[in-house]
Structure 1
Amino acid sequence: MQFYHRYIKRFLTLGIIGTAAMTSCKKDLNYTPEVFVAQPQVFKDQAGATAAVTGIYTQLQTLKRSDYALIGVVGTDEARCTYQSRGYGDYWANVFGLDVYDIKFNSQNYQLSGFWTDCYLGIANANAAIAGIPNASIADPTVKSRLLGESKFMRGLFYFYLVQLYGDIPLRIETTPYSAGVKRSPANEVYNLIVSDLKFAVANLWVKSKNPDVGRASVEAAKGLLGKVYLTMGDYSDAKTIFEDLINNNGLTLLPDYSQLFDGQHENNAESLFEIQYSLDANNTQGLQNLFGSYAGPGIPYETFNTHTPGYGGSVVITTAYYADTLFDQTNDKRYKASLWPHRYDGSGNTMDWWVDPGLPTFRKYDISTTDIDIYNSGKNLYYLRASDVYLMYAEVLNELGQTSQALTPLNKVRNRAGLQNLEIAWGRTPTQGELRTELLEERSRELGGEGWRWFDLKRTGTLVARVLQHDNPRPYYVARNGSGDAHPAQNISAINNLYPIPLSELQTNAALTLTDQNPGY
């Protein structure tokens, strides 16, 4: 197999990008900063255009490699920040604000503004590629179309994040100078661009089985994301069509063992539709165990994968009591032990189950193995889309269309892989539409917990405020042990938090906006 190591410099304006390429024995799609060169030089030929498109993936890697990855995870019913994390300093108090929606959940929050900026940097990269590729000297027109398809897939991905989080947003496209002021466009116009971009990607990308450069977007990834966009828009008919096309015509499959998804030994697997690529090369690692980890000391057994976890975790994020205690069938659901780790350890490997927030497990999906460097430098890929997500979205679409009995088929594929009976057998009857709606929301958490989709699922289903108020709290006995329970502040979430605040930096620097363009309530 051919492997490529891309050297890409992050975009700062539309007119500049840095590229170089060399052979590597590592993963197929890695990214490392290099030098700036002028845009015409980048898009001179196929090699330059390909390297430029690779640079777009860099911003997604940045979004998911560190604390930005907590957006979509904390402040939900499945994960929350630990009490002690708010004492780590002002920066981490901003992270804590994402969980409890307190005074730090504002337009100057580092996480919210940083996430916004990195998404628009990715969009700037994509816009430059979309403008430059048509003029590149590329002999094969299908290659030119594929590179455009990758660029539009990534632009659609970044805009999908932004429109869900912030609502009406500046719609910057290839003909818009990035330095120019741009007004907020209605969310429906943003969705129209996303759909158009993803349709183009579906028509022009490689199918996964014929993609020689693993890590690049495929037809399957574009179909899966387009279906997710339709579902989010409430366009169930088009979502049904694209999901059925993907399931019936693209060989969608699940790995036989759920734990294999997170052991670091089955990356870019048959179930995966799109992964964010990492390696142990400099600047290509991710450090999520530091956020999700379990204070594992050297030599601590990692029972599910029969290996050991060196290092420890910063214990910034833990599961909620709802996720850890209530959500799973802890005896029969194989995902339970693969998803949670119930213990804490000091540097000598001694258990610390008396620690603050006692007994609340951490997520173990991000734990490093002996092949990684340390908790800050793991080469494990991260999932963006996988087949089980598609099956559950398809079930949701069918249920919303009134086809509740038919919706059980894709749902049961996911349940059966987890070691559970068909839902109708377990319940002794077919659920009603309303019952299945609730069950699917819970099943998505069991299957995709800690993977970054929960906030978006709760918002899409109109349940964000209610479920966070109900479940994002300490266990009752923790409150009892710690007096009034003020160690973990009460939730401040309300309806305004269905949108994030527009960053103050955008309101101040975008000439087309003023402070009055802020989302309501902020």
Structure 2
Amino acid sequence: MKNPTHYIKKFWPAALAIILLQGFSSCRKELNYTPEVFVSAENLYKDQAGAIAGVTGIYQQLQTLKKSDYQLIGNLGTDEVRACYQAQGYGAYWAGVVGLDVYDITFNSQNQDISGFWTGCYQGIANANGAIKYIPGIKNFADPTVQNRLLGEARFMRALFYFYLVQMYGDVPMPLEDTNFDNGVPRTPQQQVYAQIVADLKFAVANCWVKSKLSANDVGRANVEAAKALLGKVYLTQHDYNDAKTTFEDLINTNQISLLTNYGDLFDGKHENNAESLFEIQYSTDNTNDVQSLQNLYGSYAGPPIAGETFDIHTPGYGGTVVMSTAHYSDSLFDKKHDVRYLASINHDRYDGSGNTMSWWIDPGLPTIKKFDISTNDIDYNHSGKNLYYLRASDVFLMYAETLNELGQPQAALAPLNKVRERAFGSGNYDVKSTVSQTALRDTILDERSRELGAEGWRWYDLKRTGTLVKRVKRYNDPHRDFLLKNGGTSDPHPVQNVSDKNNLYPIPLSELQNNRALGLKAQNPGY
């Protein structure tokens, strides 16, 4: 299933349409993204209702970016998730998706997912820039505190999109307002992009509302806790450990973030926008424009109940088979006996209509990712209303542990690390011993992030940040090795892993190099 935004043109024209949204309603998912009509930013931002609608449109860009195959970016091409062999045979587009995993010749500037992700981010940035430009000029705001909050939300979202871009593509164009782009926009050095991201997030911290202040109608909006968490992640990505430490400690101590008691509750579709969730992307089956289709990609084959049958894990279901767990993630990483995250994260078997395990073709029958399985509240494998997490408290605790360890405090790092492990293992089985060294703890924390946050979109960025992308992908994302483990040494039809140092950056889309007059083909990242 291709996302229609693959074919949307460049965002640069100044007369960018801003999406006017319904605002808020009493539907199940309160932040309603559904578009009603298109108007210019200048005409939209006339009053408080228009400002709320315009800022809500920025969230829709993130929802669109994560609802289908773009969500694979950050997961594919890592030690957690790999492409299925047969996806190569689905056509040229899906061969390009396989390329995101094995870094082959299709991992190039014309890859539709790579260019589409770029375009989607800049559409979100353009909408955010419109909000940031026009909201301060609205004179008749019913509530001035809402005016500042909306500006904080817009700057949070702009930071979020630029954070994706700078990590993936390096130096990127950085328009901060809607102007005439006839002469193009040059690439801005990464450090300047990061400085702008930090400035936007500091503004968001100062002007967004804390989660507890947001009303039921505001569920899904950016908040102080999310802004602090993302700011800390940005500092950590830059290896600015002192500022990261200060930011995480402020968030943990002041906002008192917490974990849910049961890990599995995070993904059952019944505990959305929970205490652990700092920011999540809202979906709903109330409108088919607001659904996501990730089970169709992850091919778990869980399904809704057939008429007259009881829904359980043995119920045969539906969905494509595009990506699946690496053997490392499903079979080696977890303590299957004690770690409750294993059963919440992995579907180890699939079942036919008689309840028997099945294995057919090459990959189906091997373990898949369970977190996106639909439930009885969803329509089908292609129409799920389950939200997707962007930031969770457990991520913060693990980032704090990483920060302390990099500051030469491995003993102090054990407290936040073991806080996460205690939920997963229960008392008596969870603790990492105090004798661990800084070097060993680096690998321990990186593995723990995978167990805790697997397939939630952060793994590629984690591996890049820690300088382990090439090493880990070569060691743990090996289709040849996975096939031999399953088939006992028979001939291997899987693609070959081609990851190298150049893949620490994605290629700049060819359409951007051709159409942005300030760039040209020579502005491409090295090696592409």
State the TM-score, normalized to the length of structure 2: 0.92
Q: 1:414 to 1:256 in 2, by over 3 A?
A: same
Distance apart, 1:485 and its partner CA: 4.7
- 1:386 is aligned to 2:392: yes
Q: Deviations over 1:26-82 (max 9, x none)?
A: 311121222222322211000001100000001100111000000000110111001
Q: 1:325 aligns with which of 323, 331, 339?
A: 331
Match of 1:65 in 2: 67
Paired residue for 2:476?
Answer: 471
Q: Determine the structure 1 residue equivalent to 2:278.
A: 273
SS in 2 for 1:34: strand
Alpha-carbon contact 1:169-1:185 (below 8 Å) kept? yes
In the other structure, the counterpart of 1:240 is 245
Give, in whole Å, the separation in 2 of the partners of 1:268 and 1:239. Answer: 25
- Structure 2 residue 406 is the aligned partner of structure 1 residue 403: no
Offset from partner CA, 1:465-508 (integer Å, 9 cap, x none):
01000010137473373866541122101000000000000001
Q: How far apart are the structure 2 equivalents of 1:179 and 1:484?
A: 57
- CA gap 1:80/1:454 in 2 versus in 1, 3 angstroms: same
CA distance in 1, matches of 2:334, 2:460: 19
Q: Would the aligned equivalents of 2:300 and 2:350 in 1 still touch at CA under 8 Å?
A: yes
Matching residue of 1:107: 109
What is the aligned partner in structure 1 of residue 362 from structure 2?
Answer: 356
Q: Quickly say closer, same or farther: Cα 1:441–1:423, change in 2 above 3 A.
A: farther
Structure 1 unmatched ranges of 5 or more: 1-9
* Alignment CA distance shift 1:410-1:128 (3 Å): same
Q: Count matched residues.
A: 508
Inter-partner Cα distance in structure 2 for 1:196 and 1:418: 36
Note if contact 2:278-2:391 (Cα within 8 Å) is conserved in structure 1: yes
Cα deviations by residue, 1:302-321 (Å, 9 ceiling, x for unpaired): xxx96786731212111111
8 Å contact from structure 1 (residues 399, 433) kept in 2: yes
| 2:498 counterpart residue number | 492
SS of 1:385's equivalent in the other structure is strand
Distance 1:91 1:125, change over 3 A: same
Alignment of 1:69-468 (within 5 A): 69-136=71-138, 137-174=140-177, 176-177=179-180, 180-212=183-215, 213-280=218-285, 281-296=287-302, 299=305, 311-346=317-352, 350-357=356-363, 360-420=366-426, 427=433, 429-468=434-473
Q: Give the 3 Å change call, closer, same or farther, for CA 254–83 of structure 1 in structure 2.
A: same
2:22 aligns with 21
**Contact 1:258–1:418 (Cα < 8 Å) also in 2:** yes
For residue 191 of structure 1, what is the amino acid of its counterpart?
Y
The answer on whether the counterparts of 1:14 and 1:125 sit within 8 Å (CA) in structure 2 is no
* Compared CA separation, residues 191 and 422, structure 1 to 2 (3 A): farther
Aligned-pair Cα RMSD in Å: 2.2
- How far apart, in 1, do the equivalents of 2:281 and 2:326 lie? 26
SS in 1 for 2:32: strand
Conservation of the 8 A alpha-carbon contact between 2:319 and 2:382: no
Preserved CA contact (<8 Å) 1:296 1:349: no
Residues in 2 aligned to 1:276 and 1:179: alpha-carbon distance in whole angstroms: 34
| Separation in 2, partners of 1:412, 1:217 | 28
Scaled by the length of structure 1, the TM-score of the pair is 0.93
- Over 3 Å off, 4+ runs: 10-15, 175-180, 296-300, 305-311, 345-350, 420-427, 474-477, 480-486
Structure 1 residues 221 and 309 mapped into 2: Cα distance closer, same or farther (>3 Å)?
farther
Q: 1:283 to 1:425 in 2, by over 3 A?
A: closer
Give distance in 2, aligned partners of 1:12 and 1:295. Answer: 41
Q: Any idea what SS the aligned residue of 1:80 has?
A: strand
Which range moves more in the overlay, 413-422 or 196-205? 413-422
**Secondary structure of the corresponding residue to residue 395 of structure 1:** helix
The DSSP-based 3-state class of the residue aligned with 1:418 is helix
Q: 1:395 to 1:366 in 2, by over 3 A?
A: same
- Verify the 8 A CA contact 1:75 1:468 in the aligned structure 2: yes
SS in 2 for 1:283: helix
Structure 2: which amino acid aligns with 1:206?
Answer: W
Whole-Å Cα distance in 1 between the matches of residues 411 and 56 of structure 2? 43
Amino acid at match of 1:21: Q
Residues 167 and 120 (structure 1), Cα distance of their counterparts in 2 relative to 1, 3 Å cut = same
Distance 1:11 1:51 in 2: 20
Cα distance in structure 2, aligned partners of 1:438 and 1:100? 23
CA-to-aligned-CA distance 1:247-295 (integer Å, 9 cap, x gap): 0010200000000000000000000000000001120000000011322
Pair 37,420 (structure 1): closer, same or farther in 2 beyond 3 Å: same
Q: Secondary structure at the match of 1:379?
A: coil
SS in 2 for 1:36: strand
Distance 1:282-1:395 versus aligned 2 partners, 3 A rule: same
41-50 or 19-28: which moved more? 19-28
Deviates more, 1:375-384 or 1:469-478: 469-478
The question of whether the paired residues in 1 share the 8 Å contact of 2:389 and 2:456 is answered with yes
Instruction: Tell me by how many angstroms 1:140 deviates.
Output: 3.1
Q: Is the 8 A contact 2:357 2:365 kept in 1?
A: no
Identical-residue share of aligned pairs (%): 65
* Structure 2: 5+ residue stretches without partners: 1-9
